Amino acid sequence: MSTSPRPGPARRRATPGPPPELPRHALDVPAPDELPLAVGSFAEIGPLSRADFPHRHTFYELAYVTHGRATHVVDLVAYAVRPPQLFLVTPGQVHHWRDADDLRGHVVLCTPEFLLTDPADRDALHRSGQRSWHPRDAAHAARIRSLLDRMTGERRRAEPGCRSVLRAYLHILIAEVGRSTPAGPAGHPAGDTHAPTGRAVAVARRFDALLAEPALLGEPPRAYARRLGVSVRHLNEAVPRATGATPAQLIRQARVLEAKRLLVQTDLTVARIADRLGFADAAYFCRFFRREVGDTPGGFRRHGGKHHDPGAEHIDADG
């Protein structure tokens, strides 16, 4: 990642992967000592910060929109943009901007590794379940904007100690997100003081990261336990303690979400989707999908389900 004064578009790249995968966006960090974080205006980050096609993230994105109109679609859920407004996209999620008009504001991008030293920040982003917020009032909005201006200036100057300063700024920004008013579909309260701590949270955090890997979605809990280096029994005890759901339930939810993504946002046939998600055959996948969603895969793709985005490429052919 270049340390030039402008955090330009080269910091974010699209890596197409084997067709017909969804495009993947990754932060371009060419050297181990480069800072895996970019911050700047929509214009400075580049056109991919306003991409109008569905794509999957490998990094975190926090966007603070202060001007303009658009609809932000995250995992098939559409959020009408009403500035000032914060948006979050986490690794593994699919998103795009629809009908964007003169979007202005700040964008912060960072790799999961950048949050390793403060796992509480990562937990706060994931535990809330929220993907959009409004500042509480004008003073709060001004405080968030001032913080992002300082982050942008610090990243441009790239002076000694920049990494530590930006990490501190990001910690404050995540705290400000937690103080904001949720917008759109509600999740669990971001400030849940009863959240478990210790080893259960650590295991659940790593399990959550594995759920973002589509290649694993056809595997049973024991495969995840093997990847995590823990026993199946420990996984089955730790994950519910931290999340309130069993590993099998979360894997099933992740499979359903990935199936929806692929039906709405790619041209894969139902048979190919079934194979990709680890089902023995398309008929079994269709029964699973109908039971979980209340619609057939063909029906869901024809009308896109409850959250279909008419601006995305549509798929009409069943496999």
CATH number, domain with residue 103: 2.60.120.280
Q: Are residues 69 and 153 in the same domain?
A: yes
Same domain (yes/no): 298, 171: no
Range of the domain at 143: 9-182
Per-residue confidence (pLDDT) for residue 221, from 0 to 100: 94
What distances in angstroms separate CA 220 from CA 199, 230, 238, 262, 278, one per listed residue?
Answer: 22, 14, 16, 21, 10
Q: What is the mean pLDDT of residues 188-210?
A: 62
**Do 22 and 159 share a domain, yes or no?**
yes
- Supply the pLDDT for residue 304: 66
pLDDT of residue 150: 97
Share of the chain above pLDDT 90, in %: 48
pLDDT bin (cut points 50, 70, 90) of residue 22 is low
Name the one residue in this structure whose structure tokens are 């990642």: 1
In a domain, 161, yes or no: yes
In a domain, 129, yes or no: yes
pLDDT tens digit sequence for 133-186: 999 999 999 999 999 999 999 999 999 999 999 999 999 999 999 999 988 743
State how many domains the chain has.
Answer: 2
What's the confidence (pLDDT) of residue 195? 40
Q: Do residue 147 and residue 23 come from a single domain?
A: yes
Q: How far apart are the first and last CA of the chain?
A: 42
Q: How far is CA 224 from the centre of its chain?
A: 20
Q: Which single residue is written with the structure tokens 């959250």?
A: 307
Predicted TM-score of the model (pTM): 0.65
309 found inside a domain: no
**Same domain for 114 and 240?**
no
Of the three residues 149, 182, 215, the one that is the final residue of a domain is 182
Average pLDDT over residues 60-71: 96
In a domain, 314, yes or no: no
Task: Return the ∠ at Cα 130 (arms to 126 and 136), rounded to 5°.
Answer: 120
| Residue 232 and residue 120 share a domain | no
Pairing mode, if any, of strands 77-80 and 85-89? unpaired
Residue-wise pLDDT tens digits, 118-137: 778 887 887 656 789 999 99
140 plus 246 within the same structural domain: no
pLDDT of residue 19: 39
Which of 182, 215, 241 is the endpoint of a domain?
182
pLDDT at 157: 94
- 36-45, 92-101, 111-120, 134-143: range with lowest mean pLDDT: 111-120
Asked whether residue 117 is domain-assigned, the answer is: yes
pLDDT at 253: 86
What average pLDDT does this structure show over 90-103? 90
Query: With bands split at pLDDT 50, 70 and 90, how would you rate the model's confidence at 228?
Result: very high
Are residues 81 and 210 located together in one domain of the fold? no
Closest CA to 305 of 72, 73, 45: 73
Is 191 contained in some domain? no
Both 100 and 239 in one domain: the answer is: no
Task: Compute the average pLDDT of residues 219-225.
Answer: 93
Tokens at residue 251, please? 């894997």
Same domain? 50 vs 104:
yes
Place of tokens 């100690």: 161
Q: Is residue 144 part of a domain?
A: yes
Contact 41, 4 (CB under 8 A): no
Does a structural domain hold residue 203? Answer: yes
Task: Output the average pLDDT for the chain.
Answer: 81
pLDDT at 315: 28
* CATH code where residue 222 lies: 1.10.10.60
* Cβ atoms < 10 Å from Cβ of 235: 22
Residues 87 and 213 in one domain: no
Q: Are residues 25 and 149 in the same domain?
A: yes
